Amino acid sequence: MLSRRDLSKSALALGLSTLVLGTDAKAEPKFSAEALAVAGPLGDVVMGKEDAKVTIYEYASLTCSHCAAFHADVWPKLKEKYIETGKVRFILREFPLDPLAVAGFMLSRCNGNERFYPITDLLFSTQKTWAYADKPAEALQTLMRQAGFTQESFEACLKNQSIYDAVIAVRARGGKDFQIDATPTFFINGQMYRGAMTIEELDKAIVALL
């Protein structure tokens, strides 16, 4: 059985002491589309049309309550209103706040990128049942059975060094190159917004670019 210690490969390497949680979103620096378009080692998992006028990157942690609230309350509206209508491309990127979030993102990548959003959606929607459990590693393993993991495949995934390194690389570049120190952080056509955005805030930012 995997323990909390097994999920704690390098908390210090994640720079957890420097992190804060996002609250109200506000526009901050702008970054080039070319820089943001460089994907991590495992590639980006894109939702929406490639030629959409607006591209949104969300850097999130699976253990961040603000991120979970965004995906419960705002994400369905964003998806229906803008992504499914071809106006927005959306990319979720890994910015884990702690080893548990690293584990969650690793699990979302182990069975191919087509499983990335189904698993991250599951983890966000059930966050309270595993991220805040007395035995979170056991709770996470139990939950992942719904996604088709056996005990063996679950443990093998979390021991996969290349996937671990890839998740950490995305997080490290986000902090170094894009000044991310909170989750969620959004980039809408390069414009940075720290904090969970409401659908009204997204409307205002997106409509101005269409």
Burial class (CB in 10 A: 0-12, 13-18, 19+), 190: middle
What integer is the mean pLDDT of 177-181?
A: 95
- DSSP for 120-170, please give it: HHHHHHTHHHHTTSSSHHHHHHHHHGGGT--HHHHHHHHT-HHHHHHHHHH
Per-residue pLDDT at 23 exceeds 50 = no
User: How many degrees, rounded to 5, is the angle at CA 172 between CA 108 and CA 65?
Assistant: 55
Give the pLDDT score at 98: 94
Which residue in 25, 28, 63, 60 sits closest to 202, CA to CA? 25
Q: Which residue has the higher pLDDT, 105 or 28?
A: 105
Share of the chain above pLDDT 90, in %: 82
Q: Give the pair of three-digit tokens for residue 169.
A: 């690389």
Q: Which domains does the chain have, with CATH numbers?
A: 5-207 (3.40.30.10)
